[in-house]
Amino acid sequence: MVFDCGRSCTTRLWQLKIPLGSVKLFITHLHSDHTVGIPDLWLTGFLSLPYGRRTGPFEVFGPSGTAAMMTHMREAYDADIRIRQPQQGFEINAKDFVEGVVYEKNGVRVTAFKVSHDDIDAYGFRIDYQGHSVVLSGDTRPSNNLVAHARGVDVIVHEVAASSSEVGDRIIATLHSTPEQAGEEFSKIGAKLAVYSHYSLFGSPEPTVDEIAVRTRKTYRGPLEIGEDLMAISIGDSVTVQRLH
């Protein structure tokens, strides 16, 4: 399961030797930085080469407007489909969801919950499996709904934003969470591990991830990881982190 599909997503998946055709895609919201990689994931996924090999429809779950976006994407690449003439794996099964359980199969349950990202239809996700759980915040300002759905999870993966300019501060206020605000939520949630992902950095000089970590410690003292590409987090009786590069 992949949650959001920004630039270079397909490259990173194959670095981990995950065939693109095996992916089910869940979308938090329809901003371009969370969706721009979808055509590559879809079109490369139906190829018969080892990095593709999709045998059924491309499954996509997202907020209102997702099914329409996938229909238009299919239309945009109609010439490509006709030229390649794939035998399977090119159809798209897209479903718009509302808050609640959006996927449940083989013991895995995915629950979508509303978050606050300006005034658009935006969600976070909670994934539960065999007594363990992860929450992904998506893009959000501080959100009581996020905290309520995340309390006691094993891992919370949260967006974060920082700025060195007044313009950046105004953008963050309507769209994102500062390190201090995210830290307050980490303290309320009480996860075994908090992880930052999706950094929004504004201004010149651009704030650094080290500064983000320092600012987070003003409101949170628990375990914290600065997320990066190819990081692997294993969740069982304990939570371990491995950087694969």
Average pLDDT over residues 75-96: 95
Residue of 24, 71, 26, 22 lying closest to 46 (CA atoms): 22
pLDDT band (50, 70, 90) for residue 244 = confident
d(CA 185, CA 187): 5
CA terminus-to-terminus distance, the chain: 21
- Type of residue at 1: M
Query: What was the pLDDT predicted at 245?
Result: 60
Give the β-pairing of 224-226 and 92-96: unpaired
Contact yes or no for 152/131 (Cβ under 8 A): no
d(CA 179, CA 103): 31
Q: Which domains does the chain have, with CATH numbers?
A: 1-97 (3.60.15.10), 98-245 (3.60.15.10)
Question: Each residue of 140-157: b (16+ CB within 10 Å) or e?
Answer: bbbbeebbebbeebbbbb
With tokens 């895609």, the residue in question is 25
**Residues 182-202: tens digit of each pLDDT:** 999 999 999 999 999 999 999
pLDDT band (50, 70, 90) for residue 117 = very high
For the chain, the residue count is 245
**Residues 33-68: tens digit of each pLDDT:** 999 999 999 999 999 999 999 999 999 999 999 999
With tokens 């990202």, the residue in question is 117
What is the pLDDT of the chain when averaged over all its residues?
A: 96
With tokens 């992880």, the residue in question is 195
d(CA 177, CA 67): 29
Residue of 51, 5, 15 lying closest to 244 (CA atoms): 15
Q: Which residues contact 4 (CB under 8 A, 6 or more apart)?
A: 26, 27, 28, 34, 35, 138
Contact yes or no for 218/187 (Cβ under 8 A): no
* DSSP H/E element including 156: strand 155-163
